[in-house]
Amino acid sequence: MSDQYTMQDPTTQYPTADEQWQQQQAGPGLEKEMGPKPDAGEQSYRGSGRLAGRRAVVTGADSGIGRATAIAFAREGADVVLSYLPEEEADAQEVVALVEAAGRRAVTVPGDVTDEAYCRQLVSAAVGELGGLDILANIAGKQQNVGSIDELTTEQFDETYKTNVYALFWLCKAALEHMQPGSTIINTTSIQAYSPAPILLDYASSKYAINGFTKSLAAQVAGRGIRVNAVAPGPVWTPLQVAGGQPEEALKDFGAETPLGRPGQPAEMAPAYVFLASQESSYVTGETLAATGGMPTP
């Protein structure tokens, strides 16, 4: 695993994609079955108390960017409610062990964020188990490649928007009932919001919607002392990509189009979420922090 704390060449800090990268069955993918396994900072992330005593909900916490963020939050001193699909339990239990090893509480609430009642349950779990909610990190997402709008079904379009956009609305609405001044919401958009791939029509448009949602909500709740921001990852090596997010033939070149010439790793995304959750970003709201490997955003 790469050491994120040693000065080094970012183009070679992590491997490029190659022919050995493995496809899984269409979603949800499992991190424990990936080859090679992504780096979520399990061995490398070092905390410094930046989130001491905070209480967080992280969706998609079993794998990928959500996994890395949950680990980082815990090592920075936060207790974490972990949201993930029931079939992702094996991955989630690895995260539980890492959170607890950091001396923090891990509250597991498996379920599907496309269910409004489940989204409310997540917030209730934070309030009931942790005594409140200070950080909401909306990271769970659905991405399935489809070559043509003729082949894109209403069912997939609906599920993509319910996962990526509706869940965002439901979770933010429920969380804001309990959040106090100083709390933060962090949403997850994508480079796809700015440079959409033809095969990701539903996903790219949902991420564009998240940008507008984030800016509008940030303006709405700023007077309450609550900040709302977003992170826009570029191509990042996660189960989302190998479980139908990308065509199998595209995996060998995944991330090669970035100026850094490689895909990002979840461990490289987590510090952005930590920054936006911490008081260090107290004058930042309604913004999108891009971590795209150099791919330009407006």
Residues noted as catalytic: 203
- Tally: H helices and E strands in the chain: 8, 7
Q: Within 13 Å and on the Cβ side, how many CA atoms surround 282?
A: 5
Q: Which two tokens stand for residue 224?
A: 């309450």
Spatial distance between the Cα atoms of 49 and 81, rounded to a whole number of angstroms: 18
Spatial distance between the Cα atoms of 287 and 255, rounded to a whole number of angstroms: 24
C-beta of residue 231 within 8 angstroms of C-beta of residue 291: yes
Q: What angle do CA 217, 195, 249 make, to 5 degrees?
A: 125
For the beta carbon of residue 172, count every other beta carbon within 10 angstroms.
21
Spatial distance between the Cα atoms of 74 and 55, rounded to a whole number of angstroms: 10
